[in-house]
Amino acid sequence: MSKKIFSIDQKDQLEQLVFSFSDLIGVDEAGRGCLAGPVVAAAVLFSPDGPRRYRDSKTLSAKRRAALSDEIKQHHIYGIGFASVEEITKINILWAALLAMNRAVKTVLEKAEGVVQPQYILVDGNQIIPKLPESIPQAAVIKGDDRVAQIAAASILAKVARDNWVIEAAKEYPGYGLESHKGYSTKLHKDSIAQLGVTPIHRPTFAGVKEHL
């Protein structure tokens, strides 16, 4: 499959595609740069009568993200995919993120079967997702979470799902501040790893972790 990428300056072309296809799947991930926990992806296919005004999860408060996550799950077809720390270590973070995206999209396709036929898959970033049906075209969208509502919705689901996972993990691994930084590479997190050591949820190939193995 050839890779189509919508860059920042291709606004008109992207808007034309979104206007032309009513049944788009938007895909995004959360946690690629973290030192701990899985990478999580979400895919969203809007229902005809559900709300559609969503924006990038990074611009929202945690409370607002949680409320919108519930709304998206109530009104739209969605899938959430995880790739574990073990998978990240084995195949690297890029391929693990694509694996999580693949799982999320396949969940949407299963839910949509017999209900609606997705026409296009739009993926945040500069990669398309391998091992999906070639009958559904894909395109990567640079900064897609700020440009396509379906991708923005996916970014919200992925962020909330991953944050919830890390908050639960913080109960098992206290002292690392996971509940506050959510596994990202903050000074507090790196200092905690240096002091307390590496846990099974840390990514052993990442700088900030591997030095302490």
Sequence ranges of the domains in the chain: 5-162
pLDDT recorded at residue 90: 99
| Average pLDDT value over all residues in the chain | 96
Residue 143 has pLDDT above 70, yes or no: yes
Task: For residue 163, count other CB atoms closer than 10 A to its CB.
Answer: 22
Per the CATH hierarchy, to which homologous superfamily does domain 5-162 belong? Ribonuclease H-like superfamily/Ribonuclease H (3.30.420.10)
β-strands 120-124, 138-141: how paired? Answer: parallel
Residue 56 has pLDDT above 90, yes or no: no
pLDDT band for position 154 (50/70/90)? very high
CA separation for the pair 63, 65 (Å, rounded): 5
Residue 117 has pLDDT above 90, yes or no: yes
**Which residue has better confidence, 53 or 157?**
157
Nearest to 105 by CA among 21, 38, 27, 17: 27
8 A C-beta contact, residue 76 and residue 149: no
